[in-house]
Structure 1
């Protein structure tokens, strides 16, 4: 007779399986970071599933669709129990009213019935929401927003991560706004607005996420402006009155200059006087009005300028050199209208010097500036002096050279030297910086260790080879002036990579040498070996080491140390080698189990006769016995023993008959659970009361003195070790 296929019933909510037993089953799942633990009861029927079967609890989407189910839990320990419990936690993205569950088996592959729909929410955000315009994070003062002339403002949360992924309930003046579920709300109607996350059946009364209030009011624009003034360019001492285009309405006015308030809010203060005698009067002026039923509104700016305000720019350097027999020209430029000019030397007017430039020879040294005045218009008394120029005839010149960029001896592999300063020195040694005047005009010659460098005749020199190391100076000349610069030392690091290699990076023990060497020929070279920065004081081109540490070779190149790469030798850590599964490997006789070693570079597996059976990381065992694996790490070997046993397939009985006939009168456990000092057997009655709690259980329950007043009494059992529950189920007593 062929047996019918298994039937997998729909899972149903169950009470919490942890004490107190007997609590009510859940009707909705409302999880959070502080609670996310749920149980369902699952029933299936005969025939038995296969021994390698797993039962998998699955969750639909929020509409009950199983197109892409989510696995909640799986169980391979209840293939002989027709009723048992699944424990699960909600995924953190669960939010909806119509989730369903089902169970499927893997061997045979059967999909069970679908449960009723349940509200399920993971309340991952459970704090007060903060809302602001466009969710920009800035809550307006007092939480108030004014919108004008039918405009709108968009409100959105700014403290909810992934705000767009939630459903919301928006409120206006305490009443829900129908159909508004988005994380944004466009508001054009006055009212007091709030929002909370819609967690459906799991929402908290009063709103655990209820936001702050944004009070939106509406108003009408008045079109405030400043009437065009008679003049916007004022001379010193002049005034101009600015008038608002709206007056006599009882509104409050505030006047602004360059965006800052210059008056206090004052009723009917509809005019402001600009006084050009006040320093800094120039700027952009605005007026702002406010009042009942009108918008807080600020006008466009009116720009007031200084009619006598113009600039004078010196066209030459601050310090100029006049060489014997030569002249130099000083000049200025200005944006003034119809300007006049007068040049001054050492504070005195220069006769006839009334143009924008002046020519100076070697007899006319001193400090010069030009005074520019307006020749017409309303501000004719205004004049502006240019910056000064110092004209000198040097007694001698000084050239200063420097490194063009950051330089450290024996670290740089290249460097540029350049003229940094040219000073004109008078007879008393006073320096005047004339670099910009003479840098391009002088003739140069670079010298290395006192000898001219061929072709090096510009104001800079680029060095990039260790053959160019030395002391550098620069000869500079112009006309009858000749000078030699300061000296700069250059010591470049050779552009070379020094590499060291090691036969291993792991020290197995203190008796095994590791060799560190270099492909670089060290014959005739000066070098040092270091461990952890300490010189090993050896002159050997290679070293044999047994101690862990950081090793490096330093070679002297042209007076500069050239360091190699670092090699770190670490001691062997046997705990790096792990076996999965750990402990005794158990599987049913006739079956198999794969064991995987990790942490090594290669592996060798041996049976009890020391015969090599594999060289891979994983081995599939089909026979019980004692095996060993040797893992190789560098030059080191670590050996682990693996015990393989057949599974005791004797089942835990769920029915016993206490009729005294000597057959099935006691609850007999398989050897893997009974008489084990580290296995704890616990039995509860139907009230959840513990009636047996025993380690090293000896198959003696129930004792002959026990009485069972009812037929088919049901007890609950749990078998566990120190870290997990090994088996649990029911025992039915038949008299």
Structure 2
């Protein structure tokens, strides 16, 4: 019995000594990637390694993936993966893991460490690793494509902040850094500086990218053309909802470049109280702004369209129809899913629902185009159709406006009537101008003349587009 007890004790001692002396060798990790460009949408990587002898692993062993700092030093490591105890028992082994969102550098390394027995591999090959918090285009300079600085001064380009659904500003992520560039051609650029803003004192086109090192990304800004005042380059005004914009979605914000003071105008008229860098509006029009840059002034403008789409019609505003003729009017539009409604003399034309209409009658016509998808808005185009003007040979000097339908109005040759851009003046015997038009419709006098004398006399002056002039008198008789 004593011999059996001694034998068992020796077995336990032998096993203890064997385990105490157990050791394994872990190979240099083999990376399953060349660089790590992680993000919220992708952060799964793998590493493969070998170890031996397999039999020296204990059931409690865990393999740990350790990450160096951005220079490849393991002086202070980060454990980014730990296997379950006893889960990895055969070599080679592949472990899947994710990087922490603090990575940002070009020379990281990984190594593998075991816990039982304790062993550590050498470091892997160096690799670039970045966590891309923001990976989409963003805006600078309030999305204004131009900027101007006064001679001897500079202009500050900044990344727009705070972020919004339409502008996921990278400034929302404090750990990110930025690199500014100046274009040298349509396809090349040079690094200028790092930072959240850039002071520019040299004309050129500038943009900024989020610094993700050698990782490619979509985190870059719009281009801004910066020039010196007086160089002939004009500045622009941006519209937050684009141009044209959909007024049905609310007002748009007009933005000017940075300056000291501002004065806004609409269609040539100063807008009372509009003295800020931004102006909010829902109306179409020609907008201008005067900007005080300090030692110089600058101006900018925009032709703002609030319809949300454009449309045109292929007939002139004024048309004539001979008896038996027709006129086909066709609308061209970039409206999304448009509908059409045609009107004659303000009455809707039943069944006229297409983008073209064949008119057979005289009258005042219009077509209303409605965009029914995206921006719900409408546009209206007009034209008219009249009977042809009589083709008389001479300018008459007598009319008899008595309502009998004969010689009731002053009818002149077609070369002087509407559509020829001829100016027609009619002046009374007392020197009073009773008609002045460059769109004469053979309709004078439109109203009953007040006779204060028998057969009053009027005088006409006809000036053609090529400066030929006709003069004469018109006697009005009953």
TM range (shorter): 0.3 to 0.5
TM-score by length of structure 2 reads 0.40
Q: Which has the higher contact order (CA 8 A, sep 6+)?
A: 2
Q: Give the number of the structure whose residues are more often strand, by fraction.
A: 1
Looking at secondary structure, tell me which structure has more helix per residue. 2
Larger Rg: 1
